[in-house]
Structure 1
Amino acid sequence: MGPSLAGITQYEKSPIYSLKGIDQFVSVTVIIISSSLLTLATNCMRTENSIQATPLYLGVDGGGSKTRAWLADEKGTVLGRGNTGTANINYTTRTSAVAAIRAACTQAFRSARVTESKVSGAWLGLAGMARACDRDWMKEQFSELAIKIEVSDDLHIAHCGGLAGDPGIVLVAGTGSACYGRNYTGQTWRCGGWGSLADDAGSASWLSQRAFQLAARQADGRATGNAIKDVVFDFLKIKNSEDFSQAVEGLSRYSRAQICPQLSSLYFEGNPLVKKLYKEAALALAEMITVTARQLEFSSPNVILSGAIASSKGPLNSLLCKELEKRLPTIQLCEPLYSPCAGAIMEAYRINNIDWRSNSISHFAK
């Protein structure tokens, strides 16, 4: 039998230490620690095996700048999350888009401490998936991911999550912009979302593009003042006008959209050109919602404002809300009930004939 704690006290008091006693104590300590670690490892394996035996579901939200993946069980418990870069095939290569989605899913499995395997259901809601042929192609790339899998655009899952499956309208205005609605008969309507060259009205990329145009006009004298030019030049890290064209041409829409916080500051400082710019953005976004409401014959629609540029408490959000009150006096502006990732999980449940409303999903994050 190894030494007791009292024995250790005796060793400390004695001027001559018993090496044999110390060796016995170390041996017992190692055995105790090893046993504890083995018990912990066994419990972890049991937990992982129990999770592995549970039907699992993946929901993916691939927006204009980030891709998020959630792994959940059939009771609505989110077990793991992943977060990577853009998966929009219109602004990155198809190979990169697929890699971003795979990486996000892998992260979700790892954070859940579950070995990657074929899940029962998966729903991928991705920006740039308006065409059926693109959705079919993407579905083929992930056929091994789930027993049942579907692909939609990101607007669909933002609507599903934000309104928890109920009728209404969701406006997404972040890097890009688009509006999507579904009425009580199941009819849907999409407005906007035609890309940065043809549309994206009112979005962060649209605001930044207009700001760059105003900066050019201030640089050559066509517009008065220097405030916007100075902010843009500082953002681009240039000092001379001759460097402007090259600096702008190399920017992606996501990169140029990062100037919006500086534009917001100019707005609050009272810059007239920036205030006019934000007013135009609010009118463009309000128009999308108004047209969608008219097409779906809504009288008092529930509306979700989603995306960083529309939902944040900045100048655009305030202007947009005021404009909507004029155009649609009976509109019901609502906070999203659940996130787009939660919406994707809900759809993964649906294609597996699981009534998610009967599950406890209050812990789904917004």
Structure 2
Amino acid sequence: MDAATSGPFVLGVDGGATKTVGVRAGLTGPGVLRAEVGPTNLHAADGHAVADNLRAVIDALCTDRVPRVAPEATVLGVAGAGRPEDVRRMVELARSAGLRGRLTVTTDASVALHGATGGRPGILVIAGTGSICYGRAADRREARAGGWGHILDDAGSGYGIGLAAVRVLVRQADGRARRTALHDAVLAAIETDIDGVVAWAASASKAEVAALATTVLDAAAAGDRPAAKILAAGARDLADLVAAVAAKLGGGSAQTVVLSGGLLAHDGPYRRQVSAEMSKRRADVRIEQPAAEPAWGAVLMAREIAAKGNAHGD
């Protein structure tokens, strides 16, 4: 057995809608094994697929353990884990997949925040296809805003920006607003003419609508005013999420805010707009890049749980 994998260990798992990332690590130091499998999000896959993928990631991370030794602690972060029924179901599936030892099921946002800040207090804003904001105070209290889904909200996200672009398109087509370059750019992106927009909208997936954010970014960079207004509104929406979480957490110390997700991961114009909007609200805000991936955040949480359990003689 490899010495790097022979001692006590913890598991951290980030269960997403498209893939699941698991990391195995000792009680200190870097991760020693990493595995990627299919989705373990109950809202994106059926129970059988979730169980199979959980079993696959556990087997990959515990392959050297025959008979299998229980990890000191496992943290599984999945979307929807704020609902008790989903937590119970994930625990059942994880146990049936052969996972032993201490198990904590929490939200994907919680492990993402822990990874993004390295376990420190802070606020994480994720803007990709959807949007959510999650924060943790120094006393470990947590708060969130957003994450209501594309029908109810997803403000400032790729979907929100893309939908706003389609709405501008139909207003311009009607003559209710002056036609700009964004009109033809959106039609080109969705590969139809104005008569086909209703049919496209009826069948388009969330990802297809969110993909129009790139069209809006390009149009704004070329000087299109409606596109620029869409981005400005999105930046304000994301800053509102941060302000809401900060108000729930309270405290007067400087804020650390981590920007993540496809729209904010790189130093582009939208990220700069969001940063500027947050700085307007609070001058001492510190904008940072994520320190680590969500699965590593789950590892850090598992280490904290293991340390507490060992301290109490569990």
* Aligned pair partner of 2:90 in 128, 138, 149: 138
Contact 1:68 1:84 in 2 (8 A): yes
Q: Tell me the TM-score normalised to structure 1 length.
A: 0.73
- Asked if the contact 1:174/1:204 (under 8 Å) is kept, the reply is yes
- Matched pairs, number: 304
What CA distance in whole angstroms lies between the structure 2 residues aligned with 1:195 and 1:167?
26
CA contact (8 A) 1:66 1:84 kept: yes
Aligned to 1:349: 303
Which of 247, 263, 271 in structure 1 is aligned with 2:200?
247
Using the alignment, how far apart are the partners of 2:200 and 2:69 within structure 1?
45
Find 1:260's aligned residue among 205, 209, 213. 213
Could you tell which deviates more after superposition, 202-211 or 226-235? 226-235
**Does 1:126 pair with 2:84?**
no
The 5 A counterparts of 1:198-209 are 198-209=152-163
1:212 aligns with: 166
Residue 312 of structure 2 corresponds to which residue in structure 1?
Answer: none
Shift of 1:156: 0.8
2:82 and 2:215 map into 1 onto residues whose CA distance is 32
Q: Give the structure 1 partner of residue 8 of structure 2.
A: 55
Runs (4 or more) in structure 1 with deviation over 6 Å come to: none
Amino acid in the other structure paired with 1:67: T
SS of 1:308's equivalent in the other structure is: coil
Segments of 5+ residues of structure 1 without an aligned counterpart are: 1-45, 356-366
How has the CA–CA distance of structure 1 residues 85 and 209 changed in structure 2, closer, same or farther, with 3 Å as cutoff? Answer: farther
Aligned mate of 1:274, from 227, 231, 241 = 227
The 8 Å contact of residues 124 and 258 in structure 2, kept in 1 or not, is answered as: yes
**Rounded Cα–Cα distance in structure 1 between residues aligned with 2:208 and 2:54:** 21
Distance in structure 2 (CA, Å) of the matches to 1:115 and 1:305 = 38
CA 1:65–1:176: 2 relative to 1, 3 Å: farther
What is the correspondence of 1:324-335 to structure 2 with a 5 Å cutoff? 324-335=278-289
Partner Cα separation in structure 2 for residue 249 and residue 103 of structure 1: 37
Task: Rate the CA distance shift 1:80–1:93 in 2: closer, same or farther, 3 A.
Answer: same
Task: Compare 323-332 and 304-313 and name the one that shifted more.
Answer: 304-313
The match for 2:292 is: 338
After superposition, residues 99-248 of structure 1 pair within 5 angstroms as 99-103=52-56, 108-109=60-61, 114=64, 117=68, 119-120=70-71, 121-143=73-95, 144-225=98-179, 227-236=181-190, 238-248=191-201
Asked whether the equivalents of residues 64 and 254 of structure 1 are also in contact (C-alpha less than 8 Å), the reply is no
1:288 aligns with 2:263: no
Higher relative contact order (CA 8 A, sep 6+): 2
Partner letter of residue 149 of structure 2? G
Query: For the Cα contact (< 8 Å) 1:70–1:105, is it kept in 2?
Result: no
Distance in 1 (CA, whole Å) between partners of 2:20 and 2:30 is: 20
Percent identity between the aligned chains? 29
Aligned partner of 2:203: which letter?
G
Mean CA deviation greater in 55-64 or 317-326: 55-64
Aligned equivalents of 1:58, 1:243: Cα separation in 2: 49
Cα distance in 2 between the residues matched to 1:256 and 1:101: 31
Is the alpha carbon distance of 1:290 and 1:146 closer, same or farther for their aligned partners in structure 2, counting shifts above 3 Å? Answer: same
- Name which of 77, 88, 97 aligns with 2:30: 77
Q: Residue type matched to 1:142 in 2?
A: A
**Paired residue secondary structure (2:264):** helix
